[in-house]
Structure 1
Amino acid sequence: MTVHYHKGDLPADIDLGPRIAVDTETLGLSLVRDALCVVQLSSGDGDAHVVQMDRSSYDCPNLKRVLSDAGSVKILHFARFDVAMIQRYLGVTLAPVFCTKIASKLCRTYTDRHGLKDVTRELVGVDMNKQQQSSDWGAETLSQAQLEYAASDVLHLHILQDRLTAMLEREGRMEIAQACFDFLPTRAALDLAGWPETDIFAHS
């Protein structure tokens, strides 16, 4: 694994291909209170690009270009949160998207354990280290441990997509999964607009 650490933006000439694993690190889990600090990406080649945001401006045209490319599928785990964060801070709507957490919930109905660590352990055979999950992502310079943690969150998403897609197709659930993925930008917009928990489809 090689981790490429970029402050502010990606290099202008970067090409991550047709499938890009994406994750974010933030100061917390509130879309209203907590800032976007880091975006990490991988093309599935074993390398990861970790971009530390300039939170004074969020001026990162190369990153925005990669994320907004409609010709590449963005693979995320619990995409609802990351799509909303990127939408809020970078003004980019991620699409098309494949969410490995939604996929897991639709095809791994024999378990209620759908966290990235659990899904990766079962389907890839890798036991991820989550020790840096709650560290200070707003630090001026990220530590090596933080960089390795951020990278690990995107390194296995391509193979997870492949294996979950096979399971979804086997169970005849790929079409409904795709409909869920397509709805994610709208779900994120509802979260940002103040309807995070309300089921707008409910009778009352």
Structure 2
Amino acid sequence: MHYQYIQEQSQLDEFLQAISTQSVLAIDTEFMRRRTLYPEIALIQVFDGQHLGLIDPCCDLDLSRFWQIMSDAAILKVLHSPSEDVEVFLKHGCIPSPIFDTQFALSLLGGANCLGFAIMVERFLGLTIDKSESRTNWLQRPLSASQLEYAAGDVFYLLPCFEKIRAEIEALGFMNIVIGEGDLLVTKRAYQTPDEMLHIDINNSWQLQPAQLAVLNQLAVWRRDKAREKNLALGFILKEPTLFEIARRQPQSMNQLRTIAGIEPMEINKSGKQILQCVEAGLAAPVETHPLKVTRLIDYPDYKKSAKLIKQKITKVAEKVGVPVDVFASKKQINQLLSWHWKLNEQNRSHVLIPDLMTGWRSELLGETLKEWHD
């Protein structure tokens, strides 16, 4: 396997010029994300069938041309399970499109959901690949020969697997579904929950009253803002159970705050005043601005009946077009549609993502099948 380890701008410019005229690129990234809110990119692997480059973003390279290529609609970007890779791209202002996710394509062909890369390579190429470097520290320099070889293999083997998978996908006429799913992934990864709705995503928020939810929302907004500022995962700012407990008990002094389980003394020293300010702001909010009480889907009288009916309707369409039912609609996607139908008013709907079942290839195939749940 021949590859080029790119650490200088002149190497990068020459490599990007060589691949920019190709119609298909196999892409992968290596990154670290142990405590950070955003993935920290450590290596970018690209293979066009002739040129295989390992781009080192730790070398202060100008990657603007690469991001342009990733956004070029004329170049198909092939990735395997690209959810976190997409986060890397979006963090750098790049909206990648079009994307062919080989993992999703395999599930569309009736394979197991979330099929791993090594299993895919063994199935299509008959090769057993070494995954011992998968847990390596990719930000540490210098990278070893075994690390570079491992990283190169992720795209070297991806491209021939893709060619075999694409042939099966095209034979079924499902290419637009795979590309559409890639677009949907990018849309969902780019979405940011509006500040006024952040409390809804906190576990057990349904147990709180509107006045407590006003405090919880203040805390949730503060936590996200601080996580962005510090580039720390949300849980390293305050864990959800602690957030919930503060909103429930509404401490109004440092001593009261210290009695809440789960909050570290160091965090109280650093952020205690800010936390108490969130509590104070929530308590001071006018009643008419309080969030509505959160209702769980399972507490709606018709939930089970409606979810079952939607699944039955989808199953008929899925079987007719040959798409596996669990690929067409997961339980989460059905719940997303019911939440849209029951929980959101017109104003809220304008700030949240349209349900997966109401957009893209799923909507095209369903037609008017679920129209009673669209309003």
Please tell me the TM-score bracket, short chain as reference. Answer: 0.7 to 0.9
Question: Can you give the 5+ residue segments of structure 2 that lack an aligned partner in the other structure?
Answer: 202-331, 340-375
Greater fraction strand: 1
Equivalent positions of 1:52-67 (< 5 A) are 52-54=56-58, 59-67=62-70
Equivalent positions of 1:11-160 (< 5 A) are 11-14=12-15, 15-16=18-19, 17-28=22-33, 32-45=37-50, 47-54=51-58, 59-88=62-91, 90-109=92-111, 111-112=112-113, 114-160=115-161
Shift of 1:21: 0.6
> Whole-Å Cα distance in 2 between the matches of residues 116 and 39 of structure 1?
17
> Whole-Å Cα distance in 2 between the matches of residues 86 and 33 of structure 1?
11
Paired residues, number: 198
Shift of 1:58: 6.7
CA distance 1:174–1:72, change in 2 (3 Å): closer
- Quote the residue 1:203 is aligned against: 338
> Whole-Å Cα distance in 2 between the matches of residues 175 and 29 of structure 1?
35
CA distance 1:158–1:192, change in 2 (3 Å): farther
**TM-score, structure 2 normalization:** 0.48
Of 93-102 and 4-13, the range deviating more from structure 2: 4-13
Partner-residue secondary structure (3-state), 1:54: helix
User: RMSD over aligned Cα, in angstroms?
Assistant: 2.8
Larger Rg: 2
Relative contact order (alpha carbons < 8 A, sep ≥ 6): 1 or 2 greater? Answer: 1
Shift of 1:136: 0.7
> Whole-Å Cα distance in 2 between the matches of residues 184 and 145 of structure 1?
32
- 2:80–2:103 contact (8 Å) kept in structure 1: yes
Partner-residue secondary structure (3-state), 1:201: helix
Greater fraction helix: 2
Shift of 1:131: 0.7
* Post-superposition CA distance 1:13-43 (Å, at most 9, x none): 3321221110010113777253111111111
Question: Can you give the 5+ residue segments of structure 1 that lack an aligned partner in the other structure?
Answer: none
- Quote the residue 2:293 is aligned against: none
Of 143-152 and 156-165, the range deviating more from structure 2: 156-165
> Whole-Å Cα distance in 2 between the matches of residues 192 and 6 of structure 1?
37
> Whole-Å Cα distance in 2 between the matches of residues 186 and 31 of structure 1?
22
Shift of 1:129: 1.1
Q: Percent identity?
A: 24
